[in-house]
Amino acid sequence: MLEQKNPLVLAFVGDAVQTLFVRENLSSADAKIAALHKSASQIVCAAAQAKRFDEIYTTLTDIEKDIANRARNAQHNTVPKSCTPGEYHKATALEAVIGYNYLSGNKERAKEISC
């Protein structure tokens, strides 16, 4: 069952999916590639993802909350220097929920959560 999948695997997929959604949204802007990349990076960085997680947490279903909590509590071997451990754990939780929804075929929900 997808709900029982390793939450870090779901986060791995969710990271790529969120990046794709963000880039898709930004592609309508008439800007230079460097500016688009900078904008995308600001949205998918751990600090921004942690903020987004806080914004959407109360809207999550029980299954999504379970996945988020397992992902947030998962053992991480490293944490980037650009964020706090708390931000990194919340970012991982957000990515896991996005990955879960995407893999379960609920792409609209994944997009709603990620943007």
Specify whether 15 is catalytic.
Answer: yes
Per-residue tokens: 76: 């991480």
Find the DSSP H helices in 27-84: 33-44, 46-56, 62-72
Q: Is residue 7 within 8 Å of residue 70, measured between CB atoms?
A: yes
Distance CA 36, CA 64 (A): 30
Distance CA 35, CA 97 (A): 28
Q: Rg of the chain over CA atoms, in angstroms? A: 14
Catalytic machinery residues: 15
